[in-house]
Structure formats: structure tokens, C-alpha cells
Amino acid sequence: MDVSNIRNFALVAQSGSGKTSLAEAMLFTAKATSRMGKVDDGSSVLDFEPEEVKRNMSVSTAFHHLTWKKTKIYLMDAPGDDNFLAEAKTAIRAADNVLFVVDAVNPVKPQTQKVWSIIKDSGLPVIICVNKMDKERADFQKAMDAIREAMDLRLVPVSLPLGEHENFRGIVDLIQMKAFEFSNDGSGNGNPVDIPADLQDEAENSRNNLIEFAAESDDVLLEKFFEGEELTPDEIISGLKQGIMSGGFIPVCCCSALKNMASNILLDLIVQFMPSPDELGSVSGTDPKSGDETARDPSPDAPVSGLVFKTLTDPYTGRLSIIRVYSGTLKPDSSLYNSNKGKTERYGQIFALEGKAQKPLEEAGPGEIVAIAKLKETATGDTLCNPANAITYPFVALPLPVLTYALKPRSRGDEEKITQSLARLQEEDPTIDVKRDQQTKELLLSGNGQIHIDATVEKMARKFGVQVDLALPRIPYHETIKTSKKAIIYRHKKQSGGAGQFAEVHFDISPLPRGKGFEFEEALVGMNVPRNFVPGVEKGLREATGSGPLAGYPVVDLKVRFYDGKSHEVDSSEIAFKIASINCFKKGVLEARPTLLEPIVKLTITVPDDAVGDIIGDINSRRGKVMGMEPGQGGRQAIVSLVPLVEVQRYMLDLNAMTAGCGTFTMEQSHYEDVPPNLTEKIIAQAKEKKA
């Protein structure tokens, strides 16, 4: 297919704006589907995963394609919920264009800003569609004003609504300067009608506004405009397209997705105003050998290259790698070079994705979004290319996890199955993090929010038959000492039946600076203790640091000096000295003012200016210390604080509640500090209770 007849776009919105319903309407109008699926009744072609049907929302990016006016259009329906913004980020990375859907009743919701910041960072051409014009309190002008003000955008309406609320029946297309009324049967059929008299003046003014924006994108058109000459329809389209491509302004249209009103006009806009791959020009990457910047032309005849931006896994059909083709022509049953891994990959069929269905293809060219089956080495973010003309395309930085749970298997022996199934799910969703806590021995699953974690656990049960329960992870407390203690002596003597055991050790014990761990010093003089027993002493001490005498937590930041002892020529052994050293260590720690240490994390919380006071007050109530503030983007502040980990294990949920979903944060391990005395006894009691 001619590259100029290819379009692709990421469909993004805040959750609840009707984005998936709009995609369903476009697919049905273009006859890519035989009926219009609905999210609410679970019949959506795009929200087909059980986790999506259950929640009536997108959880993963879905893919489909359609043909409209001889143009092949690939759409990526990305989730809008905060938990899955990484999906929107990767879809936008692979796209040439963005269709941003907003709710006519409530266009600027708490997370709209987050979605918009991802779009803005991409620099891609954007069309905004104001959906739900048939809802009570829907107001096209108010919606535009709210978006303009909240995100500081230059907006150009390209359509006006005919009626609003339950009387919404169609639109005035300002480009054609024609009005269309739609039937109420969801067919998407629009009939041309006269522009109503009461809309005539507004339509004329909006049309003149449109022409002015078109003229400002081109010096020749601007001169013609100022000289009072009429711009031709082709010149208006050309000027608008240049302005949209350069990001000078954003066209805004309106519709009702559920009633399928004006989806055909939106498809016209996509074909007319969204650029094709060849209009956007060459795509930059890096030469994997030299590290120099290089580029590929979006031509079917160029060396083949593409970016794998999503992976789908299935226990039966295996792995599907979703690739955006940037150059060349991809054909089935061939091999490609993975420039990130430095390996050649064989592959079989190429598929066009149609929701959960797949359609085999004979070839795919620049701008097309297709799937390749069963690549062994390739992961999300990797570039596949011609080995003789290698290139590596940059990927996006994915958000770091913000919520962690410990996984408890419901069935014995499922531990290994959990690890294997999570490794498969990580291929599909690189934003989940799985690790085993070396201290608590718990398997930890981290994600971008409660729904993200819940959906991952549900997928694990559905796809791999592994059931788990979630629990808050145990806090990895440490034990240490506050003072030095000299001449701690312990004698181990056992004479009951069989060979006897005898060992006596003399230790000095002293604290070390925080973070230094454990040090052992052998300072023996004379021959009271034969040197061949020293390894047993050190082994015993290192074993003893694993479980402290206060509450069984690891003992850190102290030094033991082994300076003397006693032995017996028959009954002494390495094991006897090991036992003596363990008991002497415990005795010494209890005599050297033992204390508990708790992990402290660094929180960087970004919130709107008006939430700063509440956040600082909340941090103080969690025993935290605010270390400073940094100005963020768009009237936001970044608050840097140090807080005990135990106080912020579910901070994501609390922050969402405090800021109505507007806040974000990152968390990283900082250091350990003494637990306050009033909490120490409680923690020790809980640990002993658990042990009992």
C-alpha cells in the first residue's frame, strides 16, 4: 500500500471519557466490524480481556484497523486510568498522531493533566474530540474553555454541535460548511441539512476563525488572507494540516460515541489532517556499532526497521510482539536483527490485530502496526531491523512502581509456579516488578496502583491457574547496639554422654557508623585458643547476625573483637567454638543497649500548589521530615521528604484520596534510623507473637 494512504494514531483519554466507545463507533461506521460493541455490556471488540469486562475499563492497549476513503487507519486504544498510564505512554511512542478524547460534561478531570503531559512530551500532532454531547449538562463551548485554560492550548473548533444534551442530533462541519443530522439508531448515517438560522452567525465566525488559523501556518496564505483574497478549500486544508503538524494549534470536534453521531466526520478529519508517515519524514535512531545518530526514510524500499513497543503473552499461543514498522517492507517467514540484544531472530507469520483476533498478512510497510509471533529474545522496547543496516530506536522511560504487596500462595508447592507465571506477565507488562526480599524471604509484587496489582493477580489466576493472596510486606527492620561493651565472656561446656564439648570466647563489642554492616577482628595473643578454631568463631558470629536477640531481625553496624578464650585439648572443636561465639554475641548485644532500626525512604511528591500545605501536614503526621521543595511544571510543586517505610506502604492510595488523583510520587530507599522507644516495644511484641 502507498505510504501516503496510511494513518496511525493513539487514542487516549482520562478513564471514563468514552474513548473505547468512540473507537467502536469508528470501526462500525467504517464497516471494520459488523456490530457496534459496547463497553458497558461486555460486548466491546477492544475491551475483551476478562479484567476489562469486569471493570468496564481498558486495562491494556488494544489494536484494530479500518479503511476509510482508501486510507488504511491503524488505531491503538490505550487505557486512561492512572494505574495503566504506562500503556498510554508506549502507544503514543509508537504512534504518528494522537486522538485525545474528553468528556463534554467534565472535560478536565484530575488525571487529564497527567495524560496531556505525556501527549505534550511526545510532540505529536493532536486532534481533540469532545465526546458525550448527548449527556445532560454537556456544553461544547464550556468544555473548550476549560481545556484551553487548564492546559494553555490554542484550540480551533472544526465542528459545532446541533443541539445539546438529549437534543444533540448532529454537527455543523466548519471545513465543508455543511450541517449533518444523524439518526438515533446508532448506524452512524448522517443526512445533510441546512445550517439552522440561529447557528448561522456562530458558524460564520467560527469558519472565519478557522481560515485565519489556516492562513497563519503559511506565509503565502497569510499574505493572501491579509489582502482580503478568499482562500480555496484546498488551501484551507493545507494550511490547517501544516498548523496541526507543527503543533501551532489543535483542532476540536464533537460527537456522541454511544449514539454513533459524527464518527464519520471524525474519520474524515483523521484522513484529511493527520499526517501519513511520509509526511512526517525520516525517523531518527542510533547506529548500534558507532553510537552515532542515524535515520531511516519511511519508504517501503528502505532497509526494514521497527520498534517492538508491546508484548502479548498467552499460555497456549505463546508470545506476540507488536511492532511499529518505520521503514522497509516486512514479509512473513524471515529473520530480523535485534539491535538491542545483538541477536538474529527467526519469525513466521505477520498478523494484523483486530481486538483479540488476528489476521495473517502478506506484508507490512512503514506506519503499519502489526504482530509477529514467537520471537525468543525480543522484549518490549527492542528494535528489529535489517542486520546489514542496523539501527536502534529510543524507547520511553516507564513509570516506577508505587505500591508493593507480598504474595502468599493459596496452594502448597505453587511458589515456583508463581515465579514462572509472573516472569511471563512481566514480558507483557514491564511496569510490574517482582523480587524476593532477601531478609524477609517474601516474594514481592510491585505495580502502579491497586487496580494494576489486582488485575495482574487476576491474570495470573486466569492464564496460569495460580491463586495468591496479597498482604502488606513485612518491614525489614534491623537491630544494632548503641554503646561499646568490653570483656564479654561465654563458656560452652557439654559433658553429658559421648564426646564432650568445650569452648570459651572473650569478645569486645562496639557500634559502627550506620551502613557499615558487620566487622570481625581477630586479636588473639598467646595460645589459649588454637588458630584453627578462629574460622568457627567467625562463622558463628556471622550466623548470629542473621537473627538478633531483640526481635529476631538482622544485627548490623557493629564490630566484634575476638581477643582471648580458652580451649580443651580433647573436647574443643570448631563446632564448640561456633556455639560459644553465637551465645557470647547474643549476650554482648543485650548488654550494649540494643535498639531497632527502621528503613527510611525518600519520597518526592509532586502536587498542585493548592495541595502543598495538606501534603506537608500529612508527612509530619507520618513521622516524616520535609527536606525541601522544588518548583515543578504547570503550577505544581515537588516536595522532597524522608519518611519511615512503615508509614507509607500504601501511600499511593492515600495520596490519590488527598489530591483527587492529581498527585504523583517516587519512592527510593534512603537509609536506616532508630525506631522511637514508644514503638520499639510494640514491634518486639509483634515479632515474638508471630514467632510463637
Asked if 523 and 538 count as a contact pair (C-beta separation under 8 A), the reply is no
> Measured in Å, how far apart are the chain's first and last C-alpha atoms?
71
Q: pLDDT tens digits, residue range 273-307?
A: 999 999 999 999 999 999 999 999 999 999 999 99
Class of domain 479-592: alpha beta
pLDDT for 225: 77
280: Cα separation from own chain's centroid: 27
| 353 sits in which H/E element | strand 350-354
Residue 644 to residue 272: CA distance in whole angstroms: 55
The dihedrals phi and psi of 216, each to the nearest 5 degrees, come to: -70, -15
Fold of 406-471: Alpha-Beta Plaits (3.30.70)
Question: How buried is residue 5: exposed, middle or buried, by Cβ count under 10 Å (0-12/13-18/19+)?
Answer: middle
639 CB contacts (<8 Å, ≥6 apart)? 603, 604, 605, 606, 607, 612, 615, 616, 619, 626, 629
pLDDT for 256: 95
Residue 112 to residue 102: CA distance in whole angstroms: 8
Residue 630 to residue 282: CA distance in whole angstroms: 38
| 615 sits in which H/E element | helix 612-621
**CA 424, 427, 428, 433: dihedral to nearest 10 degrees?**
90
pLDDT for 624: 95
**CA 38, 40, 45, 51: dihedral to nearest 10 degrees?**
180
Residue 132 to residue 259: CA distance in whole angstroms: 9
pLDDT for 107: 93
The maximal CA–CA distance of the chain, rounded, in angstroms, is 115
Asked if 3 and 278 count as a contact pair (C-beta separation under 8 A), the reply is yes
Residue 240 to residue 495: CA distance in whole angstroms: 97
Regions in the chain scoring below 70 on pLDDT:
1, 315-317, 496-498, 633-634
The dihedrals phi and psi of 667, each to the nearest 5 degrees, come to: -130, 135
215: Cα separation from own chain's centroid: 40
Residue 399, CA distances (Å) to 87, 321, 416, 422, 656 in order: 10, 21, 27, 19, 16
Domain ranges (residues) in the chain = 3-211+248-280, 283-389, 406-471, 479-592, 597-690
Residue 614 to residue 627: CA distance in whole angstroms: 16
Please indicate, yes or no, whether the overall pTM of this predicted structure exceeds 0.85: yes
Checking DSSP bridges between strand 71-77 and strand 62-68, what pairing results, if any? antiparallel
- The answer to whether the 3-211+248-280 and 597-690 domains have the same CATH topology is no
Residue 170 to residue 168: CA distance in whole angstroms: 6
Arch. (CATH architecture) of 3-211+248-280? 3-Layer(aba) Sandwich (3.40)
Q: pLDDT tens digits, residue range 189-212?
A: 889 999 999 999 999 999 989 888
pLDDT for 19: 93
Query: CB-hemisphere CA count at 13 Å for 195?
Result: 17
Class of domain 283-389: mainly beta
- The CATH number assigned to the domain with range 597-690 reads 3.30.70.240
Sign (positive/negative) of CA torsion 428, 431, 437, 438? Answer: positive
pLDDT for 24: 95
